[in-house]
Chain A
């Protein structure tokens, strides 16, 4: 991860993504400030791997997903898919490459057009993008449905006739039908029952093994993320505070925020005494984020330096970094350097 792999092995590379939403006020609706929903986020996903993005609600996870999909326009940064920066594309060009990166949304009830049959939902974009020859169209849809565990007689049914889990399968089939190299899954299972969650997650995993798709898996549920991800990024208030391979991050969480999050994951064993780290206070407003380390207002290990200086990425191993002064070996130098740049 640190040693940037060449572009060809990456399904997605996001560099310094920023999305600021203007706050408009008054009669003239002039901009009085910005909500920094995403504030300089970089990560990459190798082909066939899953990158899990976790964080509490409002931290900007969903905004990242939607910005990469260009459902909302980014303020700054780049997102490279197949050597193309999707942020620089015009609408027409963008539409052409859309099959390469697809999405699954959180709510399987509202994200399907109620007036379209399952076959039409899955087939619509397949037809528009000429994924398969016209004559094979119907057979192709049935094939994709079968892959996702849907039965062929369901092709003429409408979304309201399905349960939540089945609807999410439709959403997956819909995305899959376009042969994407990347699927952005925004909380794909959080609207489902736990038993159904497992089915859908397993389906996603199987499809990944079979087809080599990459996932950007956005979720607030750490157990689900741990199960499906190869790499995990932890977000707080619009920034990644820690990122690493799943193994490294779950085995040895470094950032105080990550530790607090992990301590909150329920353990299915009543004998185990939970030692939860309770975070105090609320998440600060992203319109007016705290100075220095954004987490310092709620951090138990907050030091003086945290209040004024933003921590840099500290690589603790080949594939694991944390943005926290606690792990900065040269903390004094960092502070001095920061002071210098400030006084200049």
Chain B
């Protein structure tokens, strides 16, 4: 087990090197760089001035040279200063990560709470009305465009409709909170109801279908027939034989959703004007902000690797056939 983790971590270093190389090359290969984009609206800027700026930002160097420089400081934990936001990359990420993570985590928990029981129910009642109703509803969720659904939510529940929830932002603009208070938390909660519900409705479908498919596969397995024939109660057939075996596959899904907890959802955040990592990353890529994009994407790469490592470890915990060695 320990050897397995150490070996995986060593392999991860190589993977991260490869990822960072590709990322850097891709980000630098954008059609226009930060200087061009930032000065595009200013006719007074001369080509000489632009060259000067490129030198300052380190964009004059070739891709390999630039990469080596980036890597040199990244190894020391320095991810540089964002060109667009003019603040250290790590500072931006640590400031906005909590809110992004909170929203995504609540949404993920809700998705699981809805997807797993309903997925099991749909599988147990395959091809009945219950199954059709559940699968149709989640299919609507999967196929609905986010921007359209967001508009509907805002129209129905926002100030223009029932006025239950605010349509934008994280906190009321006209209220000043001193420190932490219950009222502030409530304000946050009110603002987050709509974005989280949208997240859940559009995301729950794939997880539910995944649960349903895997559950169906397990429920049709021979050992389920054995369990039924030996007179095990239906509840135990479904849960201790059926669901426990489905869990093995669900665990993998959970591991891989770890980076998603931090990457945010650029579109959802944009639609509800939430300052989150997804939205910031979108702005940064519009501006070819090399340091921020590198820092943010490397964070996601690390999280992905950790996520898969965790799911491999969990896999061994839930499936006796898997031994980590």
Contact = CB atoms under 8 A, between A and B. Distances in A.
Interface of A: 69, 71, 91, 95-96, 98-99, 102-103, 105, 107, 110-117, 124-125, 128-129, 158, 160, 171, 174-175, 178
Given A110-B222, A115-B244, A129-B231, 14 more contacts: A69-B229, A95-B233, A96-B231, A98-B229, A98-B231, A102-B230, A107-B222, A110-B221, A114-B245, A114-B319, A117-B320, A124-B236, A158-B320, A174-B230
Contacts of A117: 320
B312 to A, nearest CB: 17
Given A113-B241, A115-B318, A115-B320, A95 B231 contact: yes
Given A114-B320, A115-B248, A115-B318, A124 B225 contact: no
Interface core residue of A105, A110, A125 (most chain B CB under 10 Å): A125
A178 B321 contact: no
A95 B232 CA distance: 7
A71 B228 contact: yes
B226 interface: yes
B227 interface: yes
B321 A113 contact: no
A110 B225 CA distance: 10
Contacts of A99: 231
B231 A111 contact: no
A124 B248 CA distance: 21
Contacts of A171: 226
Contact of B223 (A102, A111, A125): A111
Interface residues of B, number: 23
A97 B291 CA distance: 71
Nearest to B227: A113
Interface core residue of B229, B233, B319, B320 (most chain A CB under 10 Å): B229
A300 B100 CA distance: 80
Nearest to B127: A29
Contacts of A174: 226, 230
A102 B229 CA distance: 7
B247 to A, nearest CB: 9
Nearest to A175: B230
Contacts of A129: 231
A160 B319 CA distance: 11
Contacts of A113: 223, 226-227, 241, 245
Contacts of A160: 320-321
Interface core residue of A91, A99, A105, A171 (most chain B CB under 10 Å): A105
25 contacts: A69-B229, A71-B225, A98-B230, A103-B226, A103-B229, A105-B222, A105-B225, A110-B221, A110-B223, A111-B222, A111-B225, A112-B226, A114-B245, A114-B320, A114-B321, A115-B248, A116-B241, A117-B320, A125-B231, A128-B232, A128-B236, A158-B320, A160-B320, A171-B226, A174-B226
A145 B320 CA distance: 21
Interface in B265-321: 318-321
Interface string B178-220: 0000000000000000000000000000000000000000000
Contacts of B319: 114-115
Contacts of B225: 71, 105, 111
Contacts of A91: 234
Contact of A178 (B221, B230, B236): B230
